[in-house]
């Protein structure tokens, strides 16, 4: 009989349960879910026989060290800003760590200490980052072994409502904080294009979106993510002339968001009249009139003030955006404002009211890599790796499955000693990503690879 393995899972968000489900398949695993509030941890733990619950304040290093020391491995699914404290606790207790987050500079600084403690600190084992790395490197390494080169690497990924549930002006729904989603839309972008570095300031990011063809049934658009330039080094493709990693959304999303930005709804400065302590009643038309510095707060007058600020010559698109604003209620005189301190946070609160997944609705995840390849004999070809995953109505979402299951699989492989390298790691070596890919096939999670 296998010896008992004690696993600590910090956090109980929506990606946690698929991870727990994977680990609970092995009888020797004793899982403890720990959250700040015990009841929150118990709610998830009660779904699986033998899974325990605990309370821990992850901002307390003393509490972290005490609970980590009682386990063999800790999975950190709490906000990435807390990972460094978790890793420090694990170093002290000589316990392994798993996260699905990108390796931050602060985490990387602990690499040598992890090695000296003899522990594996494996990160980036979700979807993006995670599955995207596995299939990018699989093709890249195969091409290099055959003497070929990667001329261009494009990678686009998105978590979206399934088409039948994309029934709002943004074609989007929130399964976590709207603020995090919206703030990311203002990030600067940087990538390689035809041998040159291209930089796009955050204010122009939505305007840079362009159609991305994957399947004819989907009207996707994509825009670049932050800084893709360092993936030349990460993926060992110095020869690549184009390297772009981007986000997928449905058509119409960028233009709608850009209009919100241009009007001023992404303003993050504290506003006294939007203070949560301000109890004076406020309707959305009044808020929007103030934002626009309009002389009238009549809905029809606000629409007239908004129209010139929508920067498009496409009359049909402009009309769709106006109707979208009316759907949101931001020019309405009978929708009360839930004040959140800033224009952005108040908008987020409204979006979260209207754009949650309803019971029985499903999401989808789409990931595609496109490789332009120069073969050893000089011939050229295009290959793709594509993942399309749908959520299960009233079950696991596609996003939860494609993040939580790889995390659980990677955890089990570390516990089993299949992945044994020490230090702060991302899955960039075949010895790490190949075993994870092979195990994911058992859960029907894989990319379909084609030569076009």
What number of helices (H) and strands (E) belong to the chain?
Answer: 16, 16
Note the residue count of the chain. Answer: 452
- Structure confidence by residue, pLDDT tens digits, 57-81: 989 999 999 999 999 999 999 888 8
Contacts of 216 (CB under 8 A, 6+ apart): none
User: Which residue in this structure is represented by tokens 């299960």?
Assistant: 392
Q: At what angle do helices 253-263 and 315-328 cross, to 10 degrees?
A: 70
Mean pLDDT of the 116-129 span: 96
The two structure tokens encoding residue 355: 């754009």
What topology is assigned to 5-127+397-446 in CATH?
Rossmann fold (3.40.50)
Residues carrying CATH 3.30.360.10, the chain: 131-254+358-390
Coil, strand or helix at 294 = coil
Spell out the residues 6+ positions from residue 79 whose beta carbon is closer than 8 angstroms to its own.
Answer: none
Check whether 1 has a pLDDT greater than 60.
no
CATH 2.60.40.1190 fits 257-354, yes or no: no
Tens digit of each residue's pLDDT (9 = 90 or more) over 311-360? 888 888 899 999 999 999 999 999 999 999 999 999 999 999 999 999 99
Please, what is the average pLDDT of the chain? Answer: 94
CA distance linking residue 350 with residue 335, whole number of Å: 10
Pairing of strands 29-35, 5-10: parallel
Map 353-388 to HEC letters.
Answer: HHCECCCCCCEEEEEEEEEEEECCCCCEEEEEEEEE
Is 128 one of the catalytic residues?
yes
In three-state secondary structure terms, 177 is coil
pTM over 0.95: no
Paired tokens of 227:
């800084």
Report the C-alpha gap between 371 and 383 in whole angstroms. Answer: 5
Point out the catalytic residue in the list 128, 132, 165, 363.
Answer: 128
Provide the pairing of β-strand 52-55 with 29-35.
parallel
**What is the tens place of the pLDDT at every residue in 259-300?**
999 899 999 999 999 999 999 999 999 999 999 999 999 999
Helices (H), 48-93: 61-68, 83-93
Q: pLDDT for 112-122, tens place per residue?
A: 999 999 999 99
Q: Please list the residue range(s) of the chain that carry CATH number 1.10.1870.10.
A: 257-354
Helix (H) or strand (E) holding 326: helix 315-328
pLDDT digits 0-9 by tens, 149-167: 999 999 999 999 999 999 9
Task: For residues 228-245, give the mean pLDDT.
Answer: 97
Q: Find the angle CA(415)-CA(419)-CA(424) to the nearest 5 degrees.
A: 100
The CATH number given to 131-254+358-390 is: 3.30.360.10
Give CATH 3.40.50.720 domain extents, the chain: 5-127+397-446
């Amino acid at each position: 009989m296998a010896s008992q393995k004690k696993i600590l899972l910090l956090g109980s968000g929506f990606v946690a349960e698929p991870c727990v489900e994977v680990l609970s398949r092995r009888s020797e695993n004793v899982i403890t879910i720990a959250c700040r509030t015990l009841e929150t941890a118990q709610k998830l733990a009660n779904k699986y026989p033998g899974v325990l619950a605990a309370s821990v304040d992850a901002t307390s290093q003393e509490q972290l060290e005490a609970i980590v020391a009682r386990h063999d491995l800790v999975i950190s699914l709490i906000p990435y800003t807390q990972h460094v404290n978790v890793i420090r606790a694990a170093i002290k207790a000589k316990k392994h760590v798993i996260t699905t987050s990108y390796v931050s500079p602060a985490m990387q600084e602990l690499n040598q200490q992890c090695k000296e403690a003899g522990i594996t600190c494996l990160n980036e084992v979700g979807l993006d980052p995670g599955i995207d790395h596995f299939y990018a490197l699989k093709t890249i390494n195969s091409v290099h072994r055959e003497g070929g080169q990667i001329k261009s690497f494009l990678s686009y990924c998105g978590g979206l409502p399934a088409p039948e549930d994309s029934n709002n002006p943004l074609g989007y729904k929130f399964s976590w904080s709207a603020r995090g989603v919206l703030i990311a839309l203002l990030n600067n972008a940087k990538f390689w294009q035809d041998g040159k570095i291209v930089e796009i300031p955050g204010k122009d990011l939505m305007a840079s979106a362009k159609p991305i063809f994957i399947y004819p049934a989907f009207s996707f658009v994509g825009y670049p993510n932050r800084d893709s330039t360092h993936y030349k080094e990460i993926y060992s493709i110095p020869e690549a002339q184009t390297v772009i990693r981007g986000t997928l959304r449905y058509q119409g999303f960028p233009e709608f968001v850009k209009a919100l930005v241009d009007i001023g709804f992404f303003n993050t400065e504290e506003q006294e009249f939007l203070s949560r302590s301000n109890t004076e009643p406020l309707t959305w038309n009044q808020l929007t009139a103030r934002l626009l510095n309009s002389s009238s707060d009549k809905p029809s007058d606000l629409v007239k003030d908004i129209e010139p600020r929508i920067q498009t010559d496409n009359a049909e698109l402009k009309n769709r955006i106006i109707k979208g604003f009316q759907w949101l209620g931001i020019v309405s005189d009978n929708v009360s404002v839930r004040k959140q301190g800033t224009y952005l946070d108040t908008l987020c609160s409204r979006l979260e009211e209207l754009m949650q997944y309803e019971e029985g609705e499903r999401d989808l995840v789409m990931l595609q890599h496109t490789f332009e390849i120069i073969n050893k004999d000089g011939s050229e070809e295009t290959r793709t790796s594509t993942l399309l995953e749908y959520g299960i109505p009233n079950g696991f979402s596609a996003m939860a499955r494609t993040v939580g299951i790889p995390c659980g699989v990677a955890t089990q492989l570390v516990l089993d000693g299949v992945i044994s390298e020490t230090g702060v790691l991302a899955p960039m070596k075949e010895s790490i990503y190949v075993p994870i890919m092979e195990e994911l096939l058992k859960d029907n999670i894989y990319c379909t690879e084609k030569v076009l």
